[in-house]
């Protein structure tokens, strides 16, 4: 505007004239800029509605973007016009075109883009049927691409190390567990990629994480990839090799994860694995059989790993049943026999030891090997009140059997959990296949299944976004109609959104990334940019129609005039997201899908919007040419 005014007057502008031009320019941009900002703010609103883990991750991002947009809007209509009027110098020479408008200086990139895109716009406007077929074909390709994408909650972070939970039979003592764990650690540490291994077995003195003595939590610290024999070795293949080596240690079963991921899963779903199937019912044995049937179906599903049923049975139980008649024959009561057994196994206080101000109880009981030996217990002497000494086997029946290791309940119902990790495929696709397979299991009457783990979070996020996003798009449509005053033109601008989604879906497919909440955030962001670019193009076309141009000429010239704005918006965003798309540092796995969707979406949205929207805008406004267009 400053250049245009300078060319019209043929002299340098005074400060007062420069400020006047700045104010006039700002007033002209208030309405379109306000509508554009409202659209972008509405687009990011769904991020504020997320809950749970996804809310903690993306709500700060959405709030930051929205606050930054509000600040930029205020800044652009206060500080920027004033500084432009005061600091931007007038050009020494101004060249006016045939239409009386000042010719703008263009960079090499813009001249190159205009040389190729302007003829393409003209060719597209002249062939609307070809453009329609091409656009529909792209939408079809994008839809098919999106349908073939896998689904997961949030991309798994590569923490660099491996967490391994080692499970043994419930009868394993602490000494046995430690011996088996040391042998296991030596086998794992022999791998060239492993730096060291440390473990925790049983429950610590301060029991913040209770765990039986037969279980161990191990962390496998890996070397830097540059020190690996094959730095390009996928981590999944390394885990498979470690699992193969560990499986040679008899008596252990394993569950592999990552240190933070393991705790993350445990905190949000109560299990340490990616997926959990909860079996509810009343009878313990029936629960066990049903859970084993479910586990068998999960093991047969491609992508399953570390499938196991929680250790609900297998705990050795010693049962001593007093024969009351035999005990009475020797002058003993059931209480006398129980007290003797309790003292022998559990111990009885025999005195105290004092060390300064501290005192300790002295407890007497049988040695550990004797307490665990039924034959030794059978010879335990029982003294009657009359002084008769009889062995325990004469007044009681001693039996050993396996009993329940744990009985879990939830909401008043007995529960048994089948856990599984997903390796080598997306979580959503695995769950879909697993649910189809598990549905073949015949559940007894009164028994039911629930699915949990990260899949539950994915389902919740999809339901939340599926409710909020349609409402937001309806509000965006209302804003577009208010800005343009035509349902047809608002629909054309709104059609830019699926053109952007096509590129995002194709980009995810080409990079082998599944759809996730992170990718959904990228789709939300690119939808706003595509809508804003479409609105800018449509308003430029309407301005040309007001000037009396034919619809076709107005469409071509309007699109050409906004080429700089549309390309600049797209290129700035693409260049800004390239580092995120190619990042390999901590947390890059979460950023990559978002950046990939934005880059791919903007590439297709920019090209297709410049070709498709002017083509159909020319037809949509023909019938309004004679009526004129009101602001």
Nearest to 303 by CA among 433, 418, 422, 455: 422
What is the fold of 315-404?
3.30.2090
- pLDDT band at residue 621, thresholds of 50, 70 and 90? low
Nearest to 562 by CA among 117, 78, 222: 117
Strand (E) or helix (H) holding 413: strand 413-422
Nearest to 134 by CA among 619, 607, 618: 607
Q: Any idea what DSSP says for residue 257?
A: E
State how far the Cα of 56 lies from the Cα of 556, in Å rounded to an integer. Answer: 46
- pLDDT band at residue 112, thresholds of 50, 70 and 90? confident
pLDDT at 204: 66
Averaged pLDDT, 126-146:
88
- Comparing 21-30, 404-413, 453-462, the range with the smallest average pLDDT is 21-30
Q: Specify the CATH number of the domain 162-277+284-295+426-453.
A: 3.30.70.1430
State how far the Cα of 438 lies from the Cα of 279, in Å rounded to an integer. Answer: 12
Averaged pLDDT, 1-16:
55
Superfamily of domain 106-148+485-631, CATH level 4: Multidrug efflux transporter AcrB transmembrane domain (1.20.1640.10)
pLDDT at 210: 72
Each residue's pLDDT tens digit, 259-301:
888 777 777 667 777 888 889 988 888 888 998 999 999 999 9
Nearest to 610 by CA among 29, 137, 142, 135: 135
337: burial class by Cβ within 10 Å (0-12, 13-18, 19+)?
buried
On the question of pLDDT at 405 being above 60, the answer is yes
Rounded alpha-carbon distances, angstroms, from residue 247 to 7, 158, 250, 418, 421: 83, 24, 7, 20, 17
pLDDT at 8: 53
**Average pLDDT over all residues of the chain:** 81
Backbone angles phi, psi at 408, to 5 degrees: -95, 145
Look up residue 549 and give its two tokens: 């141009």
- pLDDT band at residue 22, thresholds of 50, 70 and 90? low
On the question of pLDDT at 216 being above 70, the answer is yes
Q: Which residue has the tokens 């689904």?
A: 151
Helix 454-484 / helix 52-76 crossing angle, nearest 10 deg: 30
Backbone angles phi, psi at 431, to 5 degrees: -65, -40
pLDDT at 372: 77
pLDDT at 596: 92
Nearest to 44 by CA among 22, 27, 59: 59
3 state SS of 385: coil
Domain ranges of the chain: 106-148+485-631, 162-277+284-295+426-453, 315-404
Q: Check residues 389 and 210 and name the one with the higher pLDDT.
A: 389
pLDDT at 21: 64
Averaged pLDDT, 225-231:
87
| CA-based R_g, the chain, Å | 37
Give the other-Cβ count within 10 Å of 117's Cβ: 20
Each residue's pLDDT tens digit, 528-542:
888 888 888 888 888
Averaged pLDDT, 184-202:
88
CB 524 within 8 A of CB 43: yes
Look up residue 398 and give its two tokens: 């001693």
On the question of pLDDT at 5 being above 70, the answer is no
Each residue's pLDDT tens digit, 50-103:
877 778 878 888 888 889 888 888 887 787 777 766 666 655 554 555 554 545
Q: What percent of the chain has pLDDT over 90?
A: 3
Averaged pLDDT, 166-185:
84
State how far the Cα of 535 lies from the Cα of 480, in Å rounded to an integer. Answer: 8
pTM score: 0.74
pLDDT at 85: 66
- pLDDT band at residue 588, thresholds of 50, 70 and 90? confident
pLDDT at 599: 92
- pLDDT band at residue 115, thresholds of 50, 70 and 90? confident
CB 541 within 8 A of CB 555: yes
Please provide the DSSP assignment of 129-163 as one string: HHHHHHHHHHHHHHHHHHHH--B-SSPPP--SSEE
Look up residue 326 and give its two tokens: 């035999």
Q: Which residue has the tokens 């805008």?
A: 617
Strand (E) or helix (H) holding 318: strand 313-322
State how far the Cα of 601 lies from the Cα of 510, in Å rounded to an integer. Answer: 13
């Amino acid at each position: 505007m400053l250049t245009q005014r300078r060319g019209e007057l043929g002299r340098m502008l005074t400060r007062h004239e420069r400020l006047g031009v700045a104010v006039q320019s700002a007033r002209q941009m208030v309405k379109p800029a306000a509508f554009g900002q409202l659209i972008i703010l509405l687009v990011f609103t769904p991020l504020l509605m997320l809950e749970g883990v996804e809310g903690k991750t993306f709500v700060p991002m959405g709030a930051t973007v929205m606050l930054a947009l509000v600040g930029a809007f205020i800044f652009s209509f206060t500080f920027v016009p004033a500084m432009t009027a005061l600091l931007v110098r007038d050009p020494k020479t101004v060249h006016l075109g045939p239409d009386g408008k000042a010719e703008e200086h263009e960079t090499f990139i813009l001249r190159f883009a205009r040389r190729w895109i302007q003829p393409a716009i003209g060719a597209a406007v002249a062939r609307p049927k070809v453009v329609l077929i091409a656009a529909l074909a792209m939408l079809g390709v994008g839809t098919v691409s999106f349908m073939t994408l896998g689904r997961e909650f949030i991309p798994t972070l590569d923490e660099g190390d491996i967490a391994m939970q080692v499970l043994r039979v419930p009868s394993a003592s602490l000494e046995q567990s430690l011996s088996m764990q040391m042998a296991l650690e030596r086998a794992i540490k022999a791998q060239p990629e492993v730096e060291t291994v440390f473990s925790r077995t049983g429950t610590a003195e301060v029991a913040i994480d209770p765990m039986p003595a037969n279980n161990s939590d191990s962390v496998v610290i890996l070397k830097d990839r540059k020190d690996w024999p094959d730095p390009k070795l996928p981590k999944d293949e390394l885990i498979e090799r470690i699992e193969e080596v560990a499986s040679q240690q008899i008596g252990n079963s394993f569950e592999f994860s990552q240190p933070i991921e393991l705790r993350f899963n445990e905190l949000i779903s109560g299990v340490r694995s990616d997926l959990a199937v909860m079996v509810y019912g009343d009878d313990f044995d029936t629960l066990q059989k049903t859970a084993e049937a479910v586990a068998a179906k999960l093991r047969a599903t491609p992508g399953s790993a570390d499938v196991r049923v929680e250790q609900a049975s297998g705990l050795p139980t010693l049962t001593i049943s007093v024969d009351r008649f035999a005990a009475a024959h020797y002058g003993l009561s059931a209480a006398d026999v129980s007290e003797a057994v309790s003292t022998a196994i559990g111990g009885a206080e025999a005195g105290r030891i004092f060390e300064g101000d501290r005192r300790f109880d002295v407890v007497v009981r049988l040695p550990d090997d004797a307490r665990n030996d039924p034959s030794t217990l059978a010879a335990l002497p029982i003294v009657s009140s009359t002084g008769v000494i009889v062995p325990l086997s004469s007044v009681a029946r001693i039996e050993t059997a396996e009993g329940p290791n744990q009985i879990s309940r939830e909401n008043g119902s007995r529960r048994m959990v089948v856990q599984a990790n997903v390796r080598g495929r997306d979580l959503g696709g695995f769950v879909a296949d697993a649910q189809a397979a598990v549905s073949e299991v015949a559940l007894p009457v009164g028994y039911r299944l629930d699915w949990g783990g990260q899949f539950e979070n994915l389902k919740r996020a999809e339901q939340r976004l599926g409710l909020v996003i349609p409402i937001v798009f309806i509000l965006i449509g209302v804003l577009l109609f208010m800005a343009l005053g035509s349902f047809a033109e608002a629909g054309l601008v709104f059609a830019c959104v699926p053109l952007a989604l096509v590129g995002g879906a194709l980009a995810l497919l080409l990079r082998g990334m599944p759809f996730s909440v992170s990718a959904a955030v990228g789709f939300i962001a690119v939808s706003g940019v595509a809508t804003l670019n479409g609105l800018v193009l449509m308003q430029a076309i309407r301005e040309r129609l007001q000037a009396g141009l034919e619809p076709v000429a107005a469409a071509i010239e309007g699109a050409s005039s906004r080429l700089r704005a549309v390309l600049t918006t797209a290129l700035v965003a693409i260049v800004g997201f390239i580092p995120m798309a190619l990042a390999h540092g901590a947390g890059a796995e979460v950023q990559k899908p978002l950046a990939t969707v934005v880059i791919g979406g903007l590439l297709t949205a920019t090209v297709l919007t410049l070709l498709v929207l002017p083509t159909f805008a020319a037809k949509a406004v023909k019938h309004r040419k004679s009526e004129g267009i009101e602001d």
